[in-house]
Structure 1
Amino acid sequence: MLIPVLIVSSLVHIYSIGYMSHDPHNQRFFSYLSLFTFMMIILVTSNNFLVIIAANQSSLSAFLTNRVGDCFLTIDYSTVFSIAPFMTDNLITIIGICLLIGAMAKSSQIGLHV
């Protein structure tokens, strides 16, 4: 598992160099990204159960957060756009709120972060 973690982490770092090139806070982003990579390496190479139990709890929390996002983002956009002229304003508002909650859950925004 160490090799896939290092490969994926390296690819994310390489991609992020171009993606974050114009961001004024890219040093903080790369600090967090490097810290995350370091913790993943610690997790994969750990040999005590305390680290593994904490990782298990975190993985369950992340799984549940992503499932919430998936539930609210599961909308067939072509169907929604084709019947949009026949919808009421309240229904369009509800669909917009569902999309907002789904996007917040998938990106772990405030209220749905773990």
Structure 2
Amino acid sequence: MTHPDHDAPYNGAPHPAGQAPAGQAAVRLTAWVHGHVQGVGFRWATRSTALSLGLVGFASNYPDGRVLVVAEGPADSTRALAAWLRGGSTPGRVDTVVDAVGRPRGGYHDFEIR
């Protein structure tokens, strides 16, 4: 099997974190998650899911009870993360996700808990 981006042998490894495959633009997902999402392992589960999708960025608690999730990487992966945030299998209880997709700003090398 060859790597999807070139003719070199493909070992099944994902693309480097935060980088999109050839022909697919990298994007930035900014999602405000409302509900009972603090003190329940939500940020850690989000980090695990984001890393499994090859995304970089962060998840941060806000004093008003929301969690801000910023993730950069392939558009398909950010869509999958947004779907997961809304999907009902997250820790706690998600009432609403308000998100936007834009151009990546870069500067991330991992997915952090802030």
Q: TM-score range by the shorter chain?
A: under 0.3
TM-score scaled by length of structure 2? 0.24
Looking at CA atoms only, which structure, 1 or 2, has the larger radius of gyration?
Answer: 1
Where relative contact order (Cα < 8 A, 6+ residues apart) is larger, the structure is 2
Q: Which has the higher strand share?
A: 2
Q: Give 1 or 2: higher helix fraction.
A: 1
